[in-house]
Amino acid sequence: MNLTKVKTAIRELEQNEQAIAKTKADIGRIQNSLEAARSHAERVQELQTRRSDALADALIDSRQPDVSKIDDELRQLERSSKAEFKDLDVPTAALAKLNQRLLDLEAAEAALRMGKDQACREVINVEIGEIEQEIDKCIATLNGHVLRCVAFTKVKRQFVSDNRDNRHAIDGFLVGARLDASVRKSSVPAEFTYPLAGNKTVQAHCESLTEEFEKVGAIKRRS
């Protein structure tokens, strides 16, 4: 079998599956970054609010404000911040693009699977077609032998008293040929697909065989 197209389809499907796996991993990574960025921003906002409140209270009470701890944590958050944390729009946009990419890849996967199945069907159909051609050639070659064998079995009945001795492989062959013709709609010779009692070729063979047996006195025709 020529499986070149099948192998190509499988390779494309595998590449798409790898792209899906990578995209899912990227989505997970960006989601984690986005969650961290949001948590970071929320903490900074919370500290800045607390700092403003502390300064306002100190101003109201005419005292020196104590925001050193808040400033220390803000400085620490600033040092630990990553570039993407400073702009939440960046990871959000990246996540939207990755989600769309995943949808496109999953749609492509369905089409690629159908393409792989189609490639397999085409290979199988080619093999079936070639085999059926060989079957038809063999049946055509056997045509003459089959009809002659049928004639022998018909003539033999004149010498058989027990029907158990009148069963032959040719009967099974003809049954199989009829079934094959009905299933495959192939070019099985028509004379194989219906009872052969009236087949002219079989009748001619029977006549010839009967004459041979008549010549040696094995058969005597009724007057």
- Whether 146 is covered by a domain: the verdict is yes
Secondary structure (DSSP) of 120-169: HHHHHHHHHHHHHHHHHHHHHHHHHHHHHHHHHHHHHGGG-S-GGGG--H
- The verdict on 107 and 185 lying in the same domain is no
pLDDT digits (tens, 9 = 90+) for 142-192: 777 877 887 888 788 778 766 555 566 666 666 555 544 444 444 444 444
Q: How many domains does the chain have?
A: 2
Mean pLDDT of 78-94: 71
- Rg for the chain, CA atoms, rounded: 44
The domain in which residue 170 lies consists of 130-215
- The verdict on 104 and 194 lying in the same domain is no
C-alpha span between 15 and 19 (Å, rounded): 6
Final residue belonging to a domain, choices 102, 128, 154: 128
pLDDT digits (tens, 9 = 90+) for 185-218: 444 444 444 445 567 888 888 889 888 888 888 8
- Whether 221 is covered by a domain: the verdict is no
- Whether 220 is covered by a domain: the verdict is no
User: In this structure, is the dihedral angle defined by the CA atoms of residues 135, 138, 144 and 146, taken in order, positive or negative?
Assistant: negative
pTM over 0.85? The answer is: no
